[in-house]
Each structure stands twice: as structure tokens, then as C-alpha cells.
Structure 1
Amino acid sequence: MGAVSRRGFLGFGGAAAAALVVGTGVWGAAGSRAFAEGRSLFTLGIASGDPAPDGFVLWTRLAPDPFAPDGRAGMPDRPVKVEYEVALDEGFRQVVRRGAAVATPEFNHSVHPEIWGLPPGREYFYRFRACGQISPVGRTRTMPPVTADPASLSFAFASCQAWGDGYYTAYDHIADEDIELVVHLGDYIYETEITDSNLRGVTVPAQFGTEAKDLARYRIQYSLYKAEAPLQKAHARFPWIVTLDDHEVVNDWAGDTVILGRDPNPPPEVFAARKAAAFQAFYENLPLRRAQMPDGPRMRLHRRLPYGRLAAFTMIDTRSYRDTQACGVAGPIADCDERLDPARTLLGAPQREWLLEGFRSSGARWHVLGNQAPMTETDWDPGPAKKLAMDPWDGYAADRAAVLGAAHDRGVRNLVAITGDRHQNYACDLKRDFNADDSPTVAGEFVGTSLTRGGNGADMTEEGRRFLAGNPHMSFFNGQRGYVRVDVDRERWRSDFRVLPFVQQPGAPVSTRASFVVEDGKPGVQAV
């Protein structure tokens, strides 16, 4: 296994913060070298994220014993100073920023220093120093100026990386792509237990044999995932934009409600405590800004990141504000009229209004909707009846109609949804009304498969054949593992579905299974 994660915490206030940052009450190199002697502190790697025109957030987490069952990763119960440098060159001869952050036990000795005031649209290198040790070097970049009109943008998106289901070879291939950033659409971890019956066929320490429900258990789950060398490599190569879906907490959770299919369900206060622990561990292990720091069972993840006037990333949260799934089920069901209830919401009214206002105010040529569960209708019944899953947007038809209708009425230019969750690849047209044969196409959607979830996968499955027969707006299906590479310019968007023949053993090659484009001003997907 490789290294693991990092987190920066500058959230102290007032004089206490100033004292800690300059070193008072904090272990620096001399005071803390003893506990780190002979052990690497940067076992979980480094990362950067949420790039802006003038900066980005950096991340690392100190973890000399990352799999320690108590979740403390072998760190002492006191703060440690972590220094950082940002440079124009990999040799750090042209340093443009130096500073220090405080890694506290309350946040699992992670730091998230936010860098600002840098020139836009260029590459930077960064590293950390703590207790006499120096981290690996990472590469990141700032976004173009908001008023610029870049010629092109390349990025990759991925999701659903269950550790026990396969190796992270896809991240080796992502790291080798000529792209500018990575978007992760959720299920960065799975909360479920990992045992020796995992699809990798490897022996797993006993502390991973239970489901994650409290903070210590979530923390070591992240440590296991983030120790993977390919994942660390991809984090170190590019800035990431991240959000979460359900498995960072528990399968199919919905807002403040308890969990579908659990008997008995936990009391609301117990679920709130679990969600608070899950949110904290998510924040501790990913390059997120202070604006995303959780407040107990609350965390704001919907946000916008412009790429000049060429594109705008709008990341939405389809978990935190939703109603419970219609008809009390998440999976496919026939004849669930509750899903059509106009009062039911996936986004929550405030987030939906925020999203629609962004459609009105943004002047971007391409609107990239970072979405967790398929927006397109996915009918499991190839006949005249409909059999739909209630967990994705199919279970919240009024919210979908409101968003797509507003996009159509307001003339939103080039709306494209990028989506995870389903462990399958789709290329789809998004219709204003999926019940009307003559309904206009409003947008395109590219659903990306899982990185590992489900094991090796297959090119075509019986479910895929049913989907293609029952959903005329779906142009492509594939059930292999991998990710999607996107190349955007002023005339068109191109999605390449990059797939691996296997993941249950390391070393798989990657190939492009299919490519689809969206042309500027022409909503909907077209095969290349």
C-alpha cells in the first residue's frame, strides 16, 4: 500500500490562532522528532483542490500509524506545526508562498491551508514539512481569470472506489492523462466492512471487519483507501474538485431521515451523530476549504468554480436536503405515483433556487453540473410500463422537471451533467419531460462507471440491454470499470469512456470504449 491523506486546519480564532501558528503550544521539528523517529508522517500523501483564479487549497494529514484502531494514526494528543511551500518549479528555487498551518488532534492532524493572491492560469508545485520530515512534491494549478476566454479545458471524472472490490489501477492511468483537474462525484469510501473475502483476495486487518459508524472507524477506513499509491499519485498530479454521495455516510441516506431498509432504524439523534462523524472524516481527508468545514451533521458542499468564460463547474448536493425516497424504496419499483408529488425534493428549495440563479447569472459557454445520481430516466422495463429506481432523480420527478424546465426556458447554453453512482457508463439526452415523446432535449448527461465497485464488470449485461431497449434517450451503455476523460473547447464537448478489462488484479491496461460529443448550441449527445 502507498501513502495516505492530509488536512489543513486554520479554523482557530483570535489570539489563540495567532499563538498556535507562530508555534506557541505547538510541537515543531525539535519538540516532536522523537515520536516520529523512524516512521513517515506523510503515509497518506498530499493533495490540492477547489482551484480558483488566484489560488487553491492544499491538504495533508500526519499519520505515522495510519491503521491504528483508535483512529489517531499514531499521533500525539497535541497540535503539531506543519509548514508548506508553493513554488513555480519542482526544485523549489522560485518559492512564491511559505506558511504554516496547525495540525490538531481534533481534526486528526490534518491541515487545509488556503493559498490566494497567485497569478491565474498557471502551474505550481507544493510540499509540506513537519517534525523534520519533508512530504512528496505535488503539482497543482490556478484557474484562468474569470473574464478570460480559454481555448480549451481537459479533465477527468470518477466515482465509486470500493477498496475491497478491486485495485486502483485506473488512478495510475488518470495520473498519466494530459488533463488539468479531476472531479470526484462521490463514494470516495464505502462504509461497509472489509473482510478477507474481498475481491482483491488479500488478508485484511481485523479492525476493518465492522461497518463504519463512529469517527474512529470512519477515519481508519479513509486511511486504508488513501494509502493506495495510485490514488495518491492522482491527487499529487492535479487539483481535485470533490463531493460526496451516500457511502461516505451509509447506503441510501436521505437528508435528516434514517436509513432505508434498516430494521430497526436508528433514532434520529443516533443517525445525526453518525452523519456528523462521517462528515468530519470526509473533511479531514480531502482538499476542501474552510467553507466546507462541517458543523455537526451539516456541511455545505454545493458551490461553483468558474473556468474563465469557457466553463463553470456547479457542484450540487443530492443527499443532504432530500426527502426520503418515494414509496419507501431506493431500487427499481413499478407504479410509484408518490415520485410525481410536486412537493417532493431532491435538492431542497434553497439549493434549487441557488442552482437556478446560477443558470441566470453565469456567462459560461459550458455549464458542467457535478451530480451524484443519474438525472436521466432509467426505465428497467423495456415494455410500455415503467419500472424506475427511487433513489436517483427518477424518484423526484418534480425537482428534475423544475431544473431542466428552467434551463430550457432561460436559454441556458450547453448544460452537461456529469454523474456517478450507477457503476455503469451511459451517454444520454436529458428531456424536459420524459413522459412526452416530442419533449425537447435540454441537456446531455454522461454517467461514469465505478472505479472498482462491482469487481471486474462486463462490457454488456442483461440490464444494459433492457436499458437500451427501454430508454430511447440513452445512446450508450457499458458495464466495465474506469473513468471518463473530457475535452472541451469553444465548439464542442467530447467525453471518452476509458475502461479497464479487469480490476480484481493490478496492472490492467486502459482503452477508450466509446466517445461522444455535444456540439455548442445543440443539446444532446452524439456518437463520434
Structure 2
Amino acid sequence: MDRRQFMKAGGFVTVSAATVGLPGCGGSSASTGPDTPPASGSSYKFPQSVASGDPKPDGIMLWTRVVPSSADDVTTSSSASNFSVRVLVTEADNAAALGSNTALSGTTVVDTTIPVLAEFDNTVRHKVTGLSAGKTYYYQFVAGDVRSKVGRFKTAPAKDADVAQLKFAFLSCQDWSINHWGAYSDLAGQSLDFIIHLGDYIYETVGEAFQTGAVETRHTALSLPNGTFKNGVSGAKYATTLADYRYLYKQYRTDSRLQAVHERFAFVAVWDDHEFSDDCWNDAETYSNGSYNATGGDNNHQTTRRRSANQAWFEFMPADIYFNNTTPDGYFNIRIYRELQFGKLAHLVMTDERLYRSDHIIPEAAPNPATGAAIGSIGSRYMAPETTLLAIEAQKMAGAKAVGLDELVFTSILGQVQRDWWKDTMKNSTATWKLWGNEVSLLKMGVDGTNAIATLLALQAVPTLASGIQTALASTGGNAAIAAVVVTALTAGASQATAGAAGMALATADAMGTSLPAAGVDAGLSSADAAIAAAAYMAAKAAAAGGLAAQVAAGAQTIAFGMIKPDVVAKKANSNFIPANLKAGLAPFFTKFVINADQWDGYNAERKLLMKHLKDNSIKNVVALTGDIHAFYAGTVHDDYNGTGGGTPVMVDLVTAGVSSDSFFSYLKDAVGSLSASLATLVYYPLTVPVTGLGDVVLNVNLLDYTLGKAAPTAASLAESLRVQLRGALAAKGVPETQLDGFTTTVLTGLQAAPAFTGQLLPLAGQLSSLNSNPWLKLANTDAQGYAVVTLTTAGLSCEFRQVNKLVGGNAPSASTLVAKTTTATVSKDVAAVTVSGS
């Protein structure tokens, strides 16, 4: 086999060994010849700059793309010819030249010539070995007289090295077509050892609904070379061909801020779904629901498209992985799961959670019991009924076992081979910290629909109950406590006479110091209703210092949550407190839901198996670093979330929001209406804020965080949670950036005094928080963009979640105001727990 054929079979990777101290003696496994003549002259350019990846103690993967200067930066090269370029590496300090085209100075440890092949879109992937551990190097490519920008990387410490500290960032979800990439400007200024990218480096769709909001002006509209219209009629297209996927990587990589980060730090990258297709599994897309028959559902499989996505990712990511574009083995021609070690301190395990995963437990094509139509994404991947999910998972596992297959073959994210590798790697690791580069969150994120609906109905009843108490004051001599008893009795169905008698009976008992509930029973109330009446009486009485309005409110809330909520919880759709016109619509939601079954929540059995493995083998200090869901989360992963008390915490999951992708909150806000308008308050509350000189500003208050389990707010903290959204809204109305922060503070201060804010919104957030839906969640910020920075020592891990502000006049915020908020999650050695500050 000749050398060129070897490069093709091996994924066109060339290799050279550094020779420390001997200038120009680095050698290469590739050779040049007639088909790869040396580049000469000045007619070349490096439109996507340079990059490095997968730092080892002795090596690195280097990357660039070089084309004739006449070629467009992102389309196919205008020349189909091959040529060769030089790559230089030095350990001399070239910090002053970093990111510039200045000639690399100092003694080189690598100076070799490598081929550039048009069939791989003129990308270069060159592996350097023989380097020193824990050292910073600088590198540059040279094509004729043209130099690339200078890049930098740091090799990993020796595997047996005692490492005092590691500092790295992890990030994901950088949609070109929405919001801004200012986070990369902030990231480039950090002092880091490396960067972990958890996927959604590109988005395969162009013009999709979630990509049509505000975007920075420097990100021009994308236009796929080929593309396929989604559903055949929409203006949105999705990448289909190799040319489409290559185009996206090339266009994304033209952003100078992303280039600057690649130039400064080595990446350790994996993909998630959008590098191929949204919520994909194997080679299947989920844009359409697929088909369904007696054996179950199945999505549309697109093997050629999957192979194209694999190749483009390999061509443009500086990852030291296996890829073979000549193999006939379908789409399993690439392996991206791998491990890297950083001394005795950290072992990084990167997984692939798309290529080997099985179909979603509930197929999208499964018929909706109510309509017979395909259930679709809502009900299968999102807001999936937990009991149905677990039952179908159990059926699939039993079916696999019955025919002698791996029990999880139809219910796995990792697949058996990768799962066994993960288990062995974790068990055999001798590093203090086991870090898991994990694409989709391990944290359970659910909501009890029954409890949530009952809470919302009780809240909605408070104004009506308050009005009733206000009316009853006329017949009770203005006594709010007695009026609360009257309304309690009437709400329970008692007659006016019985209600009045009960009010007087409780007041008399109170004066005499006897039992209030007993007095209510003697007046004709049931024991349960008498207990609620007594509670309402005492609540109104206790609020007397706050005035009559406070007494009325206290009594109304006690009735709502003492009578209405428990009745709805017990009787569900049969409760008389549910309006007749809402019963049918709400009936399907009186159950527990998994919010996102595309995450590990949808593959519960495999998650339990992995956590059991960690627990049974006393594997401690495991922390997952996660992306995908466009939100900041921190919490503990349990061995069995459905077990007694929610199970035992085994490890920690830290989840970063997207760099630019629209937030999880924004997606759910747009989707909840299609479920039920009655449930919208679980996600958001529309709030109109009049602003002097600007008119009304409409905010969508994020209540999803409280529904998920965020601690009940104060008026000040609830107002502060609106700062980033309000600042962005004021910027959109033309407020100059220099005035934004002060203006925002003034509006938020005034908002806290608004009756609707303190009297309606604040109690609502508090009640949703009291659902205690996911007590293992210690941080939930579902409406954010940004990234995370980890500082790791032997004693503990500290993670800064850096949330960025929104667009200002079509641009990313300036450097001084770019970062809106920093929240810190801390994990101590040997303790599966996380504490959060600054939230």
C-alpha cells in the first residue's frame, strides 16, 4: 500500500515526531511527490485559521485548512489540485505573536512538510508526538510565502505527575443564526489548560423557527449548497450532503472570535445531535415521526447523510480519533469516544451519546390514545408520561432478554461496547477526579402534573375567594376572620345559613378558648371542612397587623391551598373545582412527566446500571460535564431516582447553557401552549412593565426554574432574575449601552413595588417552588447563554457558570458588560454533593 492510500484508509492523518533540541529534525509519516508539490509563492490563505486538540503528555493533533487565495473562504476550493505545506512547532515563547501571522520564532522541535488534499476539502490533520509533558508550545503552518496565524497548545501532564491544579472551560451549542458569540471573546481572555466542547458545534438546519430571532449583524444568513426543505414546504432547510456539512463548519469557523479561542487552547470535542440531525439516534432523523406497526415505531434512516456528517466532523475537528472513509460498514466508520488523563489529578472520559443509542423509548410514531394520530415529539421526547416511559422500557428490556440479546440493546444511549468500556475505564482509573464529557444531562427533570395543576387551580381561585371574603364582611361586622369561615363553608358546599352559623361558632370558640374545629363540626361542617375553616380563621386573624387587605388575602390563600388543592390532587379531573370546560383538556396531565426524554431521563435503566456500577465499586469523585439543553444546571445524580427518598446520590452533573443557542426556557415557552393553555403558568408569566419614555416592555417571566425546583424567591431575587431579559428588551428599544445597567436597575427597583408583582407573581413563583419537583437540582437557570470554567484541585472542584448579556443594537455587548452574572458550583473531594453560590 502506498503512503497516499495509507492516509486515506487512516483518515488522512499525518504524523511527525518532535526532536527536542535539534532544529528542523521533526519527521513525518507522509511524503510529498508529484501529486503533492510544495506550495510556492503568495497565492494561498488560511481562511479558518488553525486549531489543536486532544492534548496528551507527549503529543497533540494540529489542524488547519489552506486554499488558493482565489478560492472563496467557505465554498469548495477553486483548485482541485493537491500540494504540500510546512508545519512548525516550537517551545519558545511566542505569546506576543499569538493569533497573528508573524513568523514563528525560536528553535523548532518540528519542521516538516505535509500534504494538503482537495478530496478532504483542503483540511490538514497532523499529529505531533515526542513532546514534553505539561509544556506550552506554539505552532504555525506555512504555504509557500504565506504563514497561518500562530497557535498555542499545552500538553497534558505526565500520567504519574502530581498536579496541583487544572483549569479548563466546557461549552456547547453555538448556533450561528441566533443571538451572539460574545462568549468567545470572554473565553479567549481566560487562562486555561484546554477546552472541552460537548457538541452542537454546528446546527444542521438553516431558517428553522428557532433560528429566526434576533442575531448579531456580523453573522450573515447561511445558505446551504444543497440542503433539503424540511417537510417539503417550509423555508427551513437541513444539511444533507457532505458539501452542506462542510459549508457549515467552514462558515462557523470564519468567526474571528471562535478562531481566537481555537488559536489559544487545545479542544477536546465530541458531537451531540446537531452535527448530524436534531435529536438523532444512529443514522435516524426525527424531523418526521416515522412509521409505526405491530413491532413498534421507527424513524427515517439516512445512512449516506450520517456518513457525510461523520466525515465533515472528522475533517474539521482536531480530534485524535479513528475514522475510515473507505469502510463499507455503514455509518459506524468513526469512533469518537475516548479518554485523556491529566496526571494523577484528572481522568477525562468522553462519550458518544448519539451514534450507538437506540430509538427513544416512546416512538414518535406511536398513536396518541386520544386521537389516533402520531404522538410526535411532545409526548415521546418531551413531556413524556413517566409511568408509560418506564413501562415501555421494561417491555423492551424483557423482549431483548427473551431472545438472548443484551438487556439494554433497545434502551441504551451508549450501546454495550461503549458502556463496558466506560465501566472498565471508571473502575480502573487511579486519578483523583473522574470527569465525564457527557452530552445529555443525567439529572432527573420531572414534574408531577397532578400537584402542579392543583397548585395552579388553587392560585387561580385566590382572587375569587378574596372577593367572596370581601363581600362577606358586610354580614360579619367587618370581621375578616369570621368572613373567611363563611367563605370556607360556602366553598365546601354548605348553605348560607350553615356558613353563617359556622362563622359565629368559631368566633365564640375563639373567645372562650375552646376547640375551633369542634365548633365548626357542631355548626354542621364536616370534620375536614371544619379544620380548614379553623385554619382560615386563624390565618386571617394573624394577619391583622397588616390591615384588612392582608387578612382577606391570608384567608383566601388558606382556603385555596387547604381545600381546593387537596381536592384536585385526590379527585383529579373529577374534582368539582375544575371548570367543566377544562376537564377534558387537563385530564391527560394528571400524571408525572419527564420533561426531556431525549436526555438520560429517557434511558433510565442504563443510567441506573451505570450509577450502580459507581456505587458498588466505591468509585468516587465522578463529575459529569454536560451540554445540550441550553440551560445552566447543577445537581446530584442518584442510583435510583424512583427509589425511596429519590435514591442515593452517587455523582454530580454540571450542565452549561449554550454559547448562543436559544434557551430551553424559550423553547418550552413556545411549546407549552400546544399542550394546554392552562399549563402555561408552569413555564412563564407575561408581565407588562410600563417604562417612562419607552412605553410598555413585555417580559416573559421565567417560572420554569421554580417549577423544576429553584428555591422560592424574595421580591428582590425575583426582580433580579429578570435583569438579563429586561436589559436586552431595553437595548432593543434603543437605550444606549452606557445607560443600560443603570436604567435596568431603576426599572427593577420600581417593579418590586408594583402590586401585581408582589401580590400575584411572587406568590405564584413561591407556590411553584413548593412543588419540590426535583430536590436534587441545586441550580436551575433555564433562560441563559454562556459557558463554564472549572478549576480543579485535589481537594475540590469549582465551576463558574458565566452567563452573558443579550444583544445590544445588533452586536454582542462590550467586553466590560458582556458577562451578566457568574454562579459558582462547588464539589468537595469524596462527597457526591454540590453547593451553589451567586444564584
Please report the TM-score for the alignment, with normalisation by the length of structure 1. Answer: 0.90
Q: Is this contact kept in 1: 2:283–2:301, CA < 8 A?
A: no
Instruction: State the partner residue of 1:78.
Output: 81
Match of 1:212 among 213, 218, 239: 239
Structure 2 CA distance for aligned equivalents of residues 525 and 29 of structure 1: 54
Matched, 1:332 2:400: no
Q: Is this contact kept in 1: 2:638–2:646, CA < 8 A?
A: no
SS of equivalent to 1:165: coil
Instruction: State the partner residue of 1:168.
Output: 181
Q: Is this contact kept in 2: 1:80–1:104, CA < 8 A?
A: yes
Match of 1:229 among 256, 266, 270: 256
Cα deviation code 1:43-84 (max 9, x no counterpart): 111000000000100000124577678x41x34212221210
Instruction: State the partner residue of 2:349.
Output: 314
SS of equivalent to 1:417: strand
Instruction: State the partner residue of 2:441.
Output: 374
The amino acid that maps onto 2:609 is A
Structure 2 CA distance for aligned equivalents of residues 124 and 19 of structure 1: 21
Q: Quote the RMSD (CA, aligned, Å).
A: 2.8
Match of 2:62 among 47, 53, 58: 58
TM-fit CA distance, 1:511: 4.6
Question: How many residues get paired?
Answer: 511
Q: Percent identity of the aligned residues?
A: 27
Structure 1 CA distance for aligned equivalents of residues 617 and 701 of structure 2: 38
TM-fit CA distance, 1:262: 4.6
Match of 1:414 among 621, 632, 636: 621
The amino acid that maps onto 1:235 is H
Cα deviation code 1:321-345 (max 9, x no counterpart): 1110011122221132224554311
Q: Kindly tell me: are residues 324 and 452 of structure 1, through their superposed partners in 2, closer, same or farther at Cα, counting changes over 3 Å? A: same
Structure 2 CA distance for aligned equivalents of residues 460 and 83 of structure 1: 55
The amino acid that maps onto 1:332 is M
Cα deviation code 1:2-56 (max 9, x no counterpart): xxxxxx9982479x999962333213223xx4xx73xx52111100000000010
The amino acid that maps onto 1:168 is W
The amino acid that maps onto 1:53 is P
Structure 2 CA distance for aligned equivalents of residues 66 and 186 of structure 1: 29
Q: Kindly tell me: are residues 58 and 486 of structure 1, through their superposed partners in 2, closer, same or farther at Cα, counting changes over 3 Å? A: same
SS of equivalent to 2:335: coil
- After TM superposition, list the pairs within 5 Å mapping 1:37-116 onto structure 2: 37=43, 41-63=45-67, 64=69, 71-72=75-76, 74-89=77-92, 90=94, 91-116=104-129
Q: Is this contact kept in 2: 1:428–1:473, CA < 8 A?
A: yes
Instruction: State the partner residue of 2:822.
Output: 513
Match of 2:597 among 357, 365, 390: 390
Structure with greater proportional helix content: 2
Moved more, 193-202 or 300-309: 193-202
Structure 2 CA distance for aligned equivalents of residues 255 and 123 of structure 1: 38
Matched, 1:448 2:656: yes
TM-fit CA distance, 1:291: 2.3
Q: Kindly tell me: are residues 262 and 219 of structure 1, through their superposed partners in 2, closer, same or farther at Cα, counting changes over 3 Å? A: farther
Q: Which runs of 5+ in 2 are unaligned?
A: 15-27, 95-103, 226-235, 293-297, 364-379, 398-407, 452-590, 667-699, 710-771
Structure 2 CA distance for aligned equivalents of residues 84 and 99 of structure 1: 6
Instruction: State the partner residue of 1:4.
Output: none
Moved more, 79-88 or 117-126: 79-88
Match of 1:200 among 204, 215, 240: 215
Instruction: State the partner residue of 2:402.
Output: none
Structure 2 CA distance for aligned equivalents of residues 47 and 457 of structure 1: 33
Structure 1 CA distance for aligned equivalents of residues 417 and 124 of structure 2: 30
Q: Kindly tell me: are residues 239 and 206 of structure 1, through their superposed partners in 2, closer, same or farther at Cα, counting changes over 3 Å? A: closer
Match of 2:302 among 265, 271, 280: 271
Cα deviation code 1:442-467 (max 9, x no counterpart): 00100110000017989972222211
Matched, 1:466 2:707: yes
Moved more, 241-250 or 452-461: 452-461
SS of equivalent to 1:524: coil
Instruction: State the partner residue of 1:177.
Output: 190
SS of equivalent to 2:354: coil
The amino acid that maps onto 1:330 is R
SS of equivalent to 1:516: strand
Q: Kindly tell me: are residues 297 and 13 of structure 1, through their superposed partners in 2, closer, same or farther at Cα, counting changes over 3 Å? A: closer
TM-fit CA distance, 1:257: 3.6
Structure 2 CA distance for aligned equivalents of residues 42 and 401 of structure 1: 47
Q: Is this contact kept in 2: 1:339–1:390, CA < 8 A?
A: no
TM-fit CA distance, 1:204: 2.3
TM-fit CA distance, 1:256: 3.7
Instruction: State the partner residue of 1:5.
Output: none
Q: Is this contact kept in 2: 1:460–1:477, CA < 8 A?
A: no
The amino acid that maps onto 1:204 is A
Moved more, 424-433 or 200-209: 200-209
Matched, 1:475 2:755: no
Structure 1 CA distance for aligned equivalents of residues 802 and 29 of structure 2: 49
Instruction: State the partner residue of 2:481.
Output: none
Moved more, 197-206 or 357-366: 197-206
Matched, 1:155 2:136: no
Match of 1:21 among 18, 28, 31: 31
Instruction: State the partner residue of 2:312.
Output: 281
Q: Kindly tell me: are residues 65 and 151 of structure 1, through their superposed partners in 2, closer, same or farther at Cα, counting changes over 3 Å? A: farther
Cα deviation code 1:334-368 (max 9, x no counterpart): 13222455431111011100000011211010000
Q: Is this contact kept in 2: 1:112–1:289, CA < 8 A?
A: no
Q: Is this contact kept in 1: 2:246–2:312, CA < 8 A?
A: yes
- After TM superposition, list the pairs within 5 Å mapping 1:430-449 onto structure 2: 430-436=637-643, 437=645, 439-449=647-657
The amino acid that maps onto 1:310 is L
Q: Is this contact kept in 2: 1:9–1:107, CA < 8 A?
A: no
Q: Kindly tell me: are residues 330 and 138 of structure 1, through their superposed partners in 2, closer, same or farther at Cα, counting changes over 3 Å? A: same
Cα deviation code 1:497-516 (max 9, x no counterpart): 10101156323511543111
SS of equivalent to 1:97: strand
Q: Is this contact kept in 1: 2:157–2:343, CA < 8 A?
A: yes
SS of equivalent to 1:505: coil
Cα deviation code 1:214-242 (max 9, x no counterpart): 01111111111111111000001110000
Cα deviation code 1:112-147 (max 9, x no counterpart): 110111110010000001143100000101100001
Structure 2 CA distance for aligned equivalents of residues 438 and 477 of structure 1: 18
Q: Kindly tell me: are residues 382 and 494 of structure 1, through their superposed partners in 2, closer, same or farther at Cα, counting changes over 3 Å? A: farther
Q: Is this contact kept in 2: 1:49–1:240, CA < 8 A?
A: yes
Q: Is this contact kept in 2: 1:375–1:400, CA < 8 A?
A: yes
The amino acid that maps onto 1:50 is D
SS of equivalent to 1:187: coil
Q: Is this contact kept in 2: 1:495–1:516, CA < 8 A?
A: yes
Cα deviation code 1:402-451 (max 9, x no counterpart): 11110111111200001000000001111111012162210010011000
SS of equivalent to 2:362: helix
Match of 1:496 among 797, 800, 824: 800
Match of 1:297 among 331, 346, 352: 331
